[in-house]
Amino acid sequence: MIKTLLLVGFGGAIGSIFRYLTNWFVSKYFQSSFPISTLLVNVLGSLLIGVLIGYFGKYFPENHPLKLLLIVGFCGGFTTFSSFALENYNLLQNNQQITAYLYMATTIILTLSAVGLGSYLSKYLQ
């Protein structure tokens, strides 16, 4: 159990660092009231989790340590659906309903599509 916790914790820490760096980079170079950095993180994280699930499902047993490190840890730390919820709440509280609903729909459609695309792309990994 300790090994599992360490793998998930380490992966989560690295994922969180990458999320922070992505947010920093996007905020520095792309100014917008639309929460693009969280959208980007969620789409990239969804694409990555799709690739990893497809790849690991094909080549590794059920409880392989890399699944814990990369899927549960890294992707869990990298993606930001809690931030997504808070940002939408704030948009709604600030009477920006159209932006909030556009953000919700865009995020859901792109992240679900990215998981499917990632799973499809994993078929080409050797």
Question: For 38-85, what is each residue's pLDDT tens digit?
Answer: 999 999 999 999 999 889 888 887 778 999 999 889 999 999 788 888
List Cβ neighbours of 108 (8 Å cut-off, separation of 6 or more).
Answer: none
State the maximum Cα–Cα separation within the chain, in Å, rounded to a whole number. Answer: 49
Give the model confidence (pLDDT) of 102-117 as tens digits: 999 999 999 999 999 9
> Is position 80 annotated in a ligand binding site?
no
Helix extents (H) in the chain: 2-29, 36-59, 65-66, 76-78, 81-93, 97-121
Residue 4: band (very low, low, confident or very high) from pLDDT cuts 50, 70, 90: very high
Q: What is the pTM of this model?
A: 0.79
> Is position 76 annotated in a ligand binding site?
yes
Q: Which amino acid is at 98?
A: I
Give the model confidence (pLDDT) of 84-100 as tens digits: 888 999 999 999 999 99
Q: How far apart are CA 66 and CA 58, in angstroms?
A: 13
